[in-house]
Amino acid sequence: MIQKITKLLTTPTQELGKWTRFLVFQVRIWFHCIRLLKTNRCGTQAAALSYYTVFGAVPMTIVMLMIFQMFPTYRDMGQQVQEFAYEQLNLNKVEYSPQAPEPDVQTTQQQAGGTLAAGEPDKVSIADKMDEISDSYMEKLNAGAIGVVSGLLLMYAAIKLFSTIENSFNIIFRIPTGRSFIKRMINYWSLITLGPLLLGLGIHFTARFMMMEGLHQGILPYVRPL
């Protein structure tokens, strides 16, 4: 059986039938994909991207809010961009149970006496937790409690995510040398700062266009004859 399969895979495709050629092609391409997955260390790359995504999501959110805080007129737009990002990443649907605090002696006695019913803690979504951390950081920033070191760490965490993504693609596409540090910083920071603004403008103009389309369908047909 193994000899027949080996002979079938090594036979030139011109000598095979239509369906046999299709099956041989599928077997070859899947073996080739598995070989490339091992060569490119895709499991390691996926683990690194997952870690740095979790590590850099909150700093990126904070930087995005800081950009919109600089322009008071666009603060509402920043909230829309934040909600849009949460919906696209499904962060508002992913929930977890926070770790309950350790009960003190009085609480333990009340539970033993039956005066307090123990229940499971409410689940919290990742989006709500990110909002909580971001709001806390923004309050400290407005109060002047955030120093230079904290700001630099925030920028590093936000930029490191893009650096990891670029390094992963460089490994997959066999790029021997990446871009210089200066070019990376300029491109990443431009993406972090200008990206939310452009996305917010896109959401704003989309809403305006939909509103004008609604007016066109609801009011303008009656106004046009006048």
Q: Report DSSP letters for 87-132, one per residue.
A: HHHTTTT-EEPPPPPPP-HHHHHHHHHTSS---PPPPEEHHHHHHH
Residues 90-102 have pLDDT tens digits of 878 878 777 655 5
What predicted TM-score, i.e. pTM, was given to this entire model?
0.59
Cβ(143)–Cβ(113) under 8 Å?
Answer: no
pLDDT at 104: 52
Read off the pLDDT band of 213 (50, 70, 90): low
**pLDDT, average across residues 77-86:** 79
Q: What is the β-pairing status of strands 124-125 and 95-96? A: antiparallel
**Position 87 pLDDT exceeds 80:** yes
